Amino acid sequence: MAVYTPVSTSQAGLFLAGYDVGGLASIQPIAEGVENSNFLLNLHPTPIRDAGTGKEAGRLILTLFEKRVRTDELPWFVGLMRHLAQAGMAVPAPVPNKAGQCLGRLQGRPALLTRFLRGRSLGAGAITPQACHELGAAMARLHVAGQSYTPERANALGPGSWQGLLARCHEMAHHQPTGSESQAVAALAHLAGQALPGLLVQWPGAASCPRGQVHADLFPDNVFFTEGAEGSSRLAGMIDFYFACTDLLAWDIAIALNAWCFDEPEGAVSVGGRALFNKDHAQALLAGYQAVRPLVAGEVAALPVLCQGAAMRFLLTRLHDWLATPPGALVTRKSPWVYGERLQAFQRADVVAVLRVLGKRS
């Protein structure tokens, strides 16, 4: 699911009349995603041209922003996507209305039209080293292009937020009925609580790791691929910039090493397993990245701590959402335990050693 606010064909048609994009042929709600309401708009008869390919772009994405994204921060996100699109990156380019404004209102919500990106995200089991290499290179290009976008947005889910998130998890866990799930929740919260102080002490600063604009949620579901020659996957686009912020560039790498470089199925709910770090994926991801932007020594040294921190971030937000979302809700809850295991994996000496070696290789 993610359509929290319905939009009828006539409402969308009226909204589109304010844009120079042609008329509305049809509107389809998009089931994927969790944060906002998204719709695919099919246009006729004079579709706008795609900036990258020059081909007719007969489809647009309409996003209505729900509670999680702060309205006063929307111009920052829109500005970043515009900036990256103008730099030639395959990201959802915001479409301005006839008055030159990108942000409008529909159904009482802030609304944005963006260009449709072709391709599909890679499902579990379909991630290859070659896809990781492409991801690394595209991420580095994003970081380089982002350097000339100067407004800043703080990372609301960085280390400064973790203590508070964990406290809220403890508070909610306190009201859970006792049972095997509450034991698993307590074990995970304990693991996070043990790792947190050390992580905060070791956290690197901008003196050793360059800062800039980061996507901060480059998970496989936010990266589109098309099929290239001989069945290979070519990266076709990156979406969902609503966690983007200004932070250490290597934060994005650490998130991707968590999200793309383990062999467990992402949805698994497991406690006490041993996460299987995929060295080939990590090597390809880092090589792809460094082909565009080589890491500095401070980043290589900080990679294990940053990877533990990224695991902590997703452990905590998922645990928070797990406890806050009733089991019967329409949104599928994501497993926080997977990230407990990944946090432990990035604490292991063998994985730390591999990261140090891979980080140095350009």
Ligand X SMILES: Nc1ncnc2c1ncn2[C@@H]1O[C@H](COP(=O)(O)OP(=O)(O)O)[C@@H](O)[C@H]1O
Asked whether position 34 contacts ligand X by CB under 6 A, the answer is yes
Residues 100/147, Cβ–Cβ less than 8 Å? no
Least Å distance, CB 205 to ligand X, is 30
Q: Please choose which of ligand X, ligand LJ64HWYM, none residue 36 contacts, taking the beta carbon within 5 to 8 angstroms, the exact cut-off set by kind.
A: ligand X
Q: In Å, how far from its chain's centre is CA 215?
A: 6
Cβ nearer to ligand LJ64HWYM, comparing 13 with 110:
110
Q: Is 1 in the site for ligand LJ64HWYM (CB under 6 A)?
A: no
Q: Which is nearer to ligand X, 30 or 287 (CB)?
A: 30
Question: Does 69 participate in binding ligand LJ64HWYM (rule CB under 6 A)?
Answer: no
CB under 8 Å, gap of 24 or more: what pairs does 301-304 form?
301/204, 301/208, 301/356, 302/204, 302/208, 302/209, 302/248, 302/250, 303/250, 303/253, 303/254, 303/257, 303/355, 303/356, 303/359, 304/346, 304/351, 304/352, 304/355, 304/356
Residue 266 binds to ligand X (criterion: CB under 6 A):
no
Among 85, 89, 117, 235, binds ligand X (CB under 6 A): 117
* Binding residue (CB under 6 A) for ligand LJ64HWYM from 1, 3, 30, 34: 34
The residue with tokens 């997977």 is: 338
Choose among ligand X, ligand LJ64HWYM, none what residue 308 binds, the Cβ cut-off being 5 to 8 Å by kind.
none
Q: How many CB atoms lie within 10 A of CB 300?
A: 20
**At 167, phi and psi to the nearest 5?**
-65, -40
Distance between CA atoms of residues 28 and 307, nearest Å: 38
Q: Are strands 23-29 and 211-214 parallel, antiparallel or unpaired?
A: unpaired
Please, which residue, 47 or 247, has the CB nearer to ligand LJ64HWYM?
247
Q: Smallest distance from the beta carbon of 80 to ligand X, in angstroms?
A: 14
Q: Which of 1, 3, 25, 30 binds ligand X (CB under 6 A)?
A: 30
Minimum separation from the CB atom of position 339 to ligand LJ64HWYM (A):
8
Does residue number 221 form part of the binding site for ligand LJ64HWYM (CB under 6 A)?
yes
330 to 349, contacts with ligand X by CB under 6 A? Answer: none
Question: Contact, 124 vs 278, CB < 8 A?
Answer: no
- Alpha-carbon torsion, ordered 229, 231, 232, 238, to 10 deg: 100
CA gap 323, 79 in Å, rounded: 34
| 296 near ligand LJ64HWYM, rule: CB under 6 A | no
Could you say which of ligand X, ligand LJ64HWYM, none residue 233 binds, taking C-beta under 5 to 8 angstroms by partner kind?
none
DSSP label at residue 17: T
Q: Is 32 in the site for ligand X (CB under 6 A)?
A: yes
If the CB atoms of residues 165 and 239 are measured against ligand X, the closer one turns out to be 239
Q: Which does 114 bind (CB under 5 to 8 A by kind): ligand X, ligand LJ64HWYM, none?
A: ligand X
Q: 214 with 143: CB under 8 angstroms?
A: yes
- Contact residues for ligand X (CB under 6 A)? 2, 30, 32-36, 38, 61, 92, 114, 116-117, 221-222, 239-240, 242
